[in-house]
Structure 1
């Protein structure tokens, strides 16, 4: 491909946009929240506990209600998730992550709509979720699979 001035201009503007995102207050808040979360031993323990139960949950999901530990694991996974979500560092990280994702979604929409308003743009962190939740599980979570 032969580089034209138009391509060079697009690349320059893309790099400038990338630098603007990396220098934004939203990204800075996200990085601070992530660093605080990574350095908090209590939060890390809660995350590890939740992930361990989540592995058991995935095993139980293969058999559903017929698994002998179904009720126990279902209650435990909800309890661990709630404990994790109520931690201040985890909550702050999730809020910062949502704000950063919203900014990226807004930028994507602005760029796409500058080309055509017919372009589908990911919103709320999901990739083109017109027919369901976009989880990719094929309806395993109860969403409507297309």
Structure 2
């Protein structure tokens, strides 16, 4: 690949865009929420407890309902997940993470659309996916289109 002045200029624009994203309010909020979540001892204990049980859950899943601890583990995993998800720092982080993903999806759609309206940019967000395919053409073949 030959480095032309046009390519260098495009890379500089991309770096500038990346820097603008890093300096945005959305990323700042994401970093604040991540910091609070990582530095809350109570939140980290909930996460650790859930992750530890998740390892046991995966073992139980291998045998399904025939595992002797199936009911207990299934009940506990739902309880621990609910407790972790309802933690204020985890909930705030998930919202900030969703906002950041939305921003990145929107940027991807604008960049792809600037090149051609036929560019398929997988976003994982049905709001951005065009057509009546549901998951869009970036969904790993699950859209069912003939493209």
TM-score by length of structure 2 reads 0.83
Secondary structure of 1:2's aligned partner: coil
Report what 1:80 is aligned to.
Answer: 80
Report what 2:95 is aligned to.
Answer: 95
Pairing of 1:53-64 with structure 2 (within 5 A): 53-64=53-64
Which of 134, 138, 145 pairs up with 1:128?
A: 138
Pairing of 1:17-96 with structure 2 (within 5 A): 17-96=17-96
Q: Where does the alignment leave 5 or more consecutive residues of structure 1 unmatched?
A: 133-146
Runs ≥4 residues deviating over 3 A: 124-127
Report what 1:140 is aligned to.
Answer: none
How many residue pairs get matched?
A: 132
CA–CA distance in 1 between the matches of 2:42 and 2:124? 29
What is the Cα-based RMSD across aligned positions, in Å? 1.9
Shift of the alpha carbon at 1:17? Answer: 0.4
Report what 1:144 is aligned to.
Answer: none
Q: Where does the alignment leave 5 or more consecutive residues of structure 2 unmatched?
A: 126-134
Shift of the alpha carbon at 1:82? Answer: 0.3
